[in-house]
Amino acid sequence: MQVQPALTHIVLALRGDAWTSLLTLITQPDLKHKSGGWQNRKRKWRTMINEAAHSIELDADDIDFVQRQIIGRNGGGWQKKFFDIFAGRHPLFTRLPIAPRKKPEQRKHRA
């Protein structure tokens, strides 16, 4: 049995609404915080898009992030937007399970 090498990055071409939604998502202003996980990822993704080809290059960390967002799509927030943009557009983003929605007492609440 041959072991497949770990995937380090993919270039994902997006069309139509998926491309428009991605651009809207990553170019929106940082309203709450100037830095942090999502803000840093948005800045990174802005440099990884190819507007002429309507594509984005995702590294292993990005692939894992998108997969977690697709799996958590019933959790509300941005997960559904990531599902709409990425689900089914690459084998890594296809047929992922849906995580059950957490009960209110299990959710993290920000102060």
Q: What is the pLDDT of residues 4-17, one digit of tens each?
A: 556 788 999 999 99
Residues 6+ apart with CB under 8 A from 39: 30, 33
User: For the chain, what percent of residues have pLDDT higher than 70?
Assistant: 77
Rounded-to-integer distance, Cα 110 and Cα 80, Å: 21
Rounded-to-integer distance, Cα 92 and Cα 106, Å: 29
Reply yes or no on whether the pLDDT at 111 is more than 60.
Answer: no
Rounded-to-integer distance, Cα 82 and Cα 85, Å: 5
User: For the chain, what percent of residues have pLDDT higher than 90?
Assistant: 38
Reply yes or no on whether the pLDDT at 28 is more than 90.
Answer: no
Residues 6+ apart with CB under 8 A from 36: none
Q: What is the pLDDT of residues 52-90, one digit of tens each?
A: 999 999 999 999 999 988 888 876 677 888 889 999 999
Reply yes or no on whether the pLDDT at 109 is more than 90.
Answer: no
Any idea where the domains of the chain sit in the sequence? 9-102
Residues 6+ apart with CB under 8 A from 23: 49
Q: Mean pLDDT, the chain, as a whole number?
A: 83
Average pLDDT (22-49) is 83
